[in-house]
Amino acid sequence: MVPVLTVQEAGKQLKSLWQEEGSLGFIPTMGALHEGHMSLIRRSVNENQFTAVSIFVNPTQFNEKHDFDHYPRNLETDLETMASFPIDLVFAPGSSEIYPEPDTRVFDFGGLDKTMEGLHRPGHFNGVAQVVSKLFDIIRPDRAYFGEKDFQQLAVIRALVRQLDIPVEIIACPIIREADGLAMSSRNKLLTAGQRTAATGVSKALFRARDLAGTLPVDKLQEKIIHLLNKHPLVEVEYFKIVDRENLQQVSDWSEAGAKIGCIAAQIGKVRLIDNINISS
Ligand code: AMP
């Protein structure tokens, strides 16, 4: 599989696919592929005649230089991981292809981008919206596949597609976990052995929250989970919030209508992990 490195070449290769009967599925990634990514790719291959994957570590969505500089990158290994899949295009552009000039667009997604990740990673979702809108423009997929692991991102992308009237169907895919519960993430590769053990506490805390839902007030449950997880010397919780699955606003009482989700972000050494779980009381 030979990756396509330029926008022009991607357009050339996609032209024939756009003209053919059949749908094009697209999976945008930042590489360092794992089973979570592969579940999205598998689904696209099953549901579409054609599948395109992008691998691009997007600088505009990183709010910390250290995180961007250390983000795992290995195109060769990624190509090997995808080799047995019938993928029609792997688009792996450099930064200057996506941003020939600085992207000055500023997005506003109402409340969706102003809580949780939006508060803790200023500019993050603006960068996500910039790159995803550009990638949709280049690839012009019929369907695009995103993981519920990044639940808030999914909500932001649905809002982006509505705002810009982009003719693409957004497909949400479930979180893939390691055997011990840790949500798969490219950043897991950066954990030391001790940190990796500590990281299982994050999903365990979510499972605990799910089990305790309804047994104590929402704010008390949030505090309890944060307190429990912070007891581990290697873990520092940034937030744990139980929010409405649709609008991502804080739930204040279990009796509120609407499906709920518990979202967490925790720092383990220099590695920042996020995860979430459906909560029904
Ligand atoms: P990333 O490379 O981290 O930008 O992720 C690319 C896509 O894979 C995003 O839509 C993620 O939500 C999705 N993804 C990452 N990890 C997982 C996982 N453990 N389970 C399901 N989807 C995932």
User: Does ligand 1 have an atom closer than 6 angstroms to the CB of 273?
Assistant: no
Does the annotation mark 37 as catalytic?
yes
CATH topology identical between 7-173 and 186-279: no
Beta carbons of 202 and 191 less than 8 angstroms apart: no
Q: Ligand 1 centroid to 49 CA: how many Å? A: 22
Over its length of 281 residues, how does the chain's per-residue pLDDT go in tens digits?
899 999 999 999 999 999 999 999 999 999 999 999 999 999 999 999 999 999 999 999 999 999 999 999 999 999 999 999 999 999 999 999 999 999 999 999 999 999 999 999 999 999 999 999 999 999 999 999 999 999 999 999 999 999 999 999 999 999 999 999 999 999 999 999 999 999 999 999 999 999 999 999 999 999 999 999 999 999 999 999 999 999 999 999 999 999 999 999 999 999 999 999 999 97
7-173: CATH homologous superfamily? HUPs (3.40.50.620)
**For the residues of 29-79, what is the DSSP string, one character each?**
E-SS--HHHHHHHHHHHHH-SEEEEEE---GGG-S-HHHHHHS---HHHHH
**What's the rounded Cα separation, in Å, for the pair 62 and 121?**
8
* SS3 letters across 189-240: HHCCHHHHHHHHHHHHHHHHHHHHECCECHHHHHHHHHHHHHCCCCEEEEEE
Spot the catalytic one: 37, 70, 227, 232: 37
Q: Ligand 1 centroid to 189 CA: how many Å? A: 14
Q: Ligand 1 centroid to 281 CA: how many Å? A: 27
Q: Ligand 1 centroid to 215 CA: how many Å? A: 32
Please identify, in words, the CATH class of the domain defined by 186-279. Answer: alpha beta
User: Which residue from 44, 71, 146 has its CB within 8 A of the most atoms of ligand 1, so it is best to mutate?
Assistant: 146
Beta bridge partners of 143: 25, 169
User: Does ligand 1 have an atom closer than 6 angstroms to the CB of 157?
Assistant: no
Give the pLDDT confidence of 100-141 residue by residue, as tens digits. Answer: 999 999 999 999 999 999 999 999 999 999 999 999 999 999
Hey, whose CA ends up nearest to atom 8 of ligand 1? 37
Looking from the CA of residue 30, the nearest atom of ligand 1 is: 2
Hey, whose CA ends up nearest to atom 6 of ligand 1? 29
Map out the domains of the chain as residue ranges. 7-173, 186-279
